[in-house]
Structure 1
Amino acid sequence: MKLVTHNMLSSKCLKGVVKGFPLKIHAVEVKTHEVEFNKEQVIRLIPKLEWPALCEAAESLGELSGLPPDVGPDFEGDEDFLKKAHHILFEVDVVNGELECPETGHKFPVRNGIPNMLADQKDHSADS
């Protein structure tokens, strides 16, 4: 699971969950894979992201790579920043682990890089 994907997931599928974001990552296996840098793609994507959640996720995986806590107003011209953002978004891959709902503690498995966000409709407040 790429961190760009993680940044778009929530656990609002669970009964009683209001926001369900950001999901906490409990990684068992993380890999990095080199992906060709596409400056325009990163520039288009950054305004759509929840930046603090991305930094929190990257930090939990030991991959923060010196990214600033906020996106600067002139980020489009900062090649170093864009390459670091590209690395975090597209090259870091959670292969196996769990995603945890911040409101209920319900855990969703990540297996072979695929998060399983399906949840039955029972009360998950007892899950931990």
Structure 2
Amino acid sequence: MKLVTHNMLTSKCLKGVNTGYPLKLVVKEIRVQSSDFNKEFISKMIPRLDWAVFVVAAKQIGHAGNLPDQLLPDYENNEELLKDVHHALFEVDIYEGELICPETNRKFQISEGIPNMLVKENEL
């Protein structure tokens, strides 16, 4: 599971959950695979991210590089920053682990890079 996915997932569908975001990460295995860097694409992705959640997750898994806690105003012209964002979002794969709902502590398994967000009928 990529951090771009983590940044968008919520457990709001669970009964009694108001926000369900951000999901806590428990990482058991990480795999890193390089991918082509596209400055324009990354520049367009950044406004869609919850920056604070992204940076915390990247730090938690040890792949934050030099990501600042606050997004720089002129980020689209900072190629070093864009490369760090690209790496954390698209090259790092959480291969095994768990996502945990912050409100209920319900665990969702990540297996072979795929988060299983299926819920049981009685959890809806």
TM-score range, shorter chain: over 0.9
Unaligned runs of 5+ in 2: none
- Displacement over 4 Å in runs of 4+: none
In the superposition, the TM-score normalised over structure 2's length comes to 0.96
Q: For 1:1-128, what aligned pairs fall within 5 Å after superposition?
A: 1-122=1-122
Q: Is the 8 A contact 1:20 1:103 kept in 2?
A: yes
Are the equivalent residues in 2 in contact too, given 1:14–1:121 (CA < 8 A)? Answer: no
> Residue 70 of structure 1 aligns to a residue in which SS?
coil
Give distance in 2, aligned partners of 1:72 and 1:121.
44
Q: By how many angstroms is 1:121 displaced? A: 3.7
Q: How many residues align?
A: 124
TM-score (norm 1): 0.93
Looking at structure 2, the residues matched to 58 and 122 of structure 1 have their Cα atoms a distance apart, in angstroms, of 33
Q: In 1, distance between residues paired with 2:13 and 2:113? A: 20
RMSD of aligned C-alpha atoms? 1.2
Residue by residue, what CA displacement relative to the aligned partner does 1:66-117 show, whole Å, maximum 9, x if unpaired?
2000111110100010000000100110001100001110000000100011
Q: Contact between 1:23 and 1:101, CA under 8 Å: does it hold in 2?
A: yes
